[in-house]
Each structure stands twice: as structure tokens, then as C-alpha cells.
């Protein structure tokens, strides 16, 4: 129906979460209507970001600098590390604005059925960070799924040797829920009412 280039753009956009073929087609149509103000700046921004992005060597966040802006911020407290599964979970907590400490992105959850074990995640790096004298608390903010709970339990067992206080997000996070889909108020309430594991 359309040229190869347009169909390829629609196909690529439809791979994004929340965009199916119809939504992608509408987005492409909008870009085609305004190439100078929308499509060309978008293509430049995509290329620029792709060339500049990097993973933070400290927490695992995605940013354009290493260490990331969060880890480099001297105004953030150093005594607490909030552990999340993925970068989108970190970004969701940051949007809520309820946590002013450090983060640690695991890069997923333990999932024996999918062949994901402890060595596939950034758990050893977390244990090493927790040994720092400045760290007094590790907050487990894994999703309330079976894999998230399993991962939290495993990390809790590993953190015993460090002597840090281990807490977990509490009220507000529904069982089976994922952090990235929760509203900011729910995330803030869950972070404030966390409890010991």
C-alpha cells in the first residue's frame, strides 16, 4: 500500500510497547504530515541518543554519562540503595519523587524456567555496594510477581552477611503489579510504608 520506507517505519514503531500496527500507522502519518517539525527532529534525536547512551557502571541506569546523573548527584543520600528489576522501574520511582538515595538495577529477575540465574543479574555488584560502610539500608523494590518475590528472597539471604537493614516496599503495590504501571501517589505511599523483610 505504501512505499517500502514508510512500511518499514510503521513496522519498527509497532514493535514499541503500547503501539500496535494501527497506532504505529497513525504516528507515521502524523510524522509524514509534519516532516520538518516532527520527523526530522525526531530522527536526529534518535540518532543522537543512540550514539550517546550508556549504562551507568555504578547502578545500571541508562544515561548519557557514566556515572549517571543520579549516582553523580552529591545531594542524594548514600545510606540507602533501592533495588529495582529494570531501568523503567527506577524511572517510575524517580517520577514519584519519594526516594532521594541511590539505586541498583538488577537487569531482570531470577527465572529458572527462562534460564535466568543469579549470575545473569547484577546481584554480586549489589552485595559489593552493600558492604560500603555508608550503606545502612537496602530497599527491595522488585515487582510483586512470583519472579520478583523469588528474587527479593534470594537477595535478602545474600545480604545477611553484610549486616545492612533490608526492607521491602509495602502497601500500595498490588500483588502481580509492575512498578512502571503504577501512579506516582501509589509508588510514594509504598516507599514510605516499607517494612523489614
For residue 197, pLDDT over 80 is answered with no
Grid cell digits, residue 26 = 497513525
Q: How many CA atoms lie within 13 A of 169 on its CB side?
A: 30
Q: Taking Cα atoms as reference points, which of 65, 47, 45 lies closest to residue 56?
A: 65
Question: Residue 109 and residue 153: Cα distance in Å, rounded?
Answer: 11
What value does the mean pLDDT take over residues 99-104? 97
Can you give the pTM of this predicted structure? Answer: 0.80
DSSP 39: I
Q: Taking Cα atoms as reference points, which of 51, 60, 47, 113 lies closest to residue 87?
A: 60
pLDDT at 192: 77
Quickly state the pLDDT bin for 171 (edges 50, 70, 90): low
Question: Residue 175 and residue 155: Cα distance in Å, rounded?
Answer: 19
Q: In whole angstroms, what separates CA 11 from the centre of its chain?
A: 25
Structural contact between residues 168 and 82, judged by C-beta atoms closer than 8 angstroms = no
For residue 172, pLDDT over 70 is answered with no
Amino acid at each position: 500500500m505504501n512505499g517500502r520506507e514508510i512500511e518499514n517505519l510503521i513496522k519498527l514503531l509497532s514493535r514499541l510497547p503500547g503501539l500496535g500496527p494501527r497506532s504505529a500507522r497513525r504516528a507515521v502519518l502524523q510524522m509524514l504530515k509534519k516532516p520538518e517539525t516532527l520527523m526530522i527532529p525526531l530522527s536526529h534525536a534518535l540518532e543522537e541518543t543512540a550514539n550517546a547512551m550508556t549504562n551507568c557502571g555504578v547502578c545500571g541506569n541508562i544515561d548519557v554519562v557514566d556515572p549517571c546523573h543520579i549516582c553523580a548527584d552529591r545531594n542524594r543520600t548514600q545510606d540507602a540503595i533501592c533495588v529495582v528489576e529494570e531501568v523503567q522501574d527506577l524511572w517510575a520511582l524517580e517520577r514519584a519523587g519519594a526516594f532521594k538515595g541511590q539505586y541498583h538495577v538488577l537487569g531482570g529477575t531470577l527465572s529458572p524456567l527462562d534460564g535466568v540465574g543469579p549470575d545473569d543479574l547484577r546481584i554480586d555488584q549489589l552485595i559489593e555496594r552493600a558492604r560500603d560502610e555508608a550503606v545502612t539500608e537496602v530497599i527491595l523494590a522488585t515487582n510483586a510477581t512470583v519472579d520478583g518475590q523469588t528474587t527479593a528472597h534470594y537477595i535478602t539471604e545474600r545480604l545477611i552477611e553484610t549486616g545492612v537493614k533490608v526492607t521491602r516496599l509495602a502497601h500500595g503495590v498490588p500483588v502481580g503489579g509492575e512498578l512502571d504501571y503504577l501512579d506516582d501517589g501509589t509508588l510514594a505511599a509504598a516507599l514510605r510504608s516499607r517494612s523489614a523483610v
